[in-house]
Every structure is written in structure tokens, then in C-alpha cells.
Amino acid sequence: MSTKELPINDRITAKTVRLIADTGDMLGIKTIEDARKLAQEAELDLVMVSPEADPPVCKIIDYGKFKYEQKKRQHEHHKHTPQIKELRLRPKTEEHDLMVRVRQARGFIERGDRVIVNVFFKGRELSHAELGRAVLERFCNELQDIAKTERPPHMEGRRMGIVLVKK
């Protein structure tokens, strides 16, 4: 049941309610006037948490805090799930472009994602695989404070790649 549907304080129309204190103690079945009086004395709200019960169940709680906790519980379902992110480089990638990719990878890794960094070779670049390996090693050195290599540099056809994960 959403928090918008819950009747509070004067909006509760039942004659008698099963009352639960703010400490969680069961206070028993009370008239609605007695329940409202107890809630006012505690400077809290009277909230009907289970209207379909017989008699309806009401709690003496801080309604603002209750709504906040409900909203927080809903947001727990939307937490980030780790993904695999891929960044592509070339053996002749310039310094600035490399640092842009390092910043992107840093953000992904801090979020908990796994990052695959691939260096693609075209034409004769394949005969100079050491240039690609140097780019990957530089990349790893820039991120060594937050990431570790899950898989060292390896060749797969025309690309060389590494996998980085959070330390």
C-alpha cells in the first residue's frame, strides 16, 4: 500500500482501532478518541497502517519520517547493478584522448563496473603490438590507485585488451 492512501489523524473514520505505540508495544484496542489523544500527548501522528484488519491497526509514529523511510525502501530497488563497460583505444592515441578515457574508466570503476580496455590495430600497426601494450600499461598505471587488472594484456585477433576491476 502506498503512503498516499494511508489515513492519518482526523482522517481515520473507524470507531475503534488496535493501537501500536511508537516504541512498537501493543497498546490494545482503543477508541479513536483515546488513540488520537495518546498521539497528541506523544506529539506524533496517528497513522492507520492496516485498514483491512478488524479492527483497523493504527500506529503512533512521526508521519514525515515514515514517508521518508517508505520512499527510501522503494529506492533500494533501483541500486546500481555492476556492468561491463568497454573503452576502445588505438596504438597512436594521443595524451589528452587517453586521459579522457582514463577519467571515464575511473568513473565506471568507482561505480563498481568492470572495464574492458581494448586497443584496436589496423593494417601494419599489428606488427607493432608493443605500442598497444605500452598504451595499456600506461592506462593501468593511471588507475592503479583504484583498480587492479583482472586479466593481463592479451591479443585476440586485431585487438589487445585488459580487464580492470575495483580493488
Q: What is the pLDDT of residues 70-100, one digit of tens each?
A: 888 887 777 778 899 999 999 999 999 999 9
CA 80 – CA 144 distance, rounded (Å):
23
Query: Model confidence at 4, in pLDDT bands (50, 70, 90)?
Result: low
Closest residue by Cα to residue 84 from 109, 110, 104: 109
Which pLDDT tens digit goes with each residue over 104-148? 999 999 999 999 999 999 999 889 899 999 999 999 999 999 999
Query: What whole-number distance in Å separates Cα of residue 134 and Cα of residue 92?
Result: 10
Pick the more confident residue, 102 or 65: 102
3 has pLDDT over 60: no
The pLDDT of residue 144: 92
What would the pLDDT profile of 35-49 be if each residue is shown by its tens digit? 888 888 888 888 888
Distance CA 123, CA 103 (A): 29
| Domains parsed from the chain with CATH numbers | 3-75 (3.10.20.80), 84-166 (3.30.110.10)
Residue 145: what pLDDT? 94
Radius of gyration of the chain (CA): 30
Residue 26: pLDDT above 70? Answer: yes
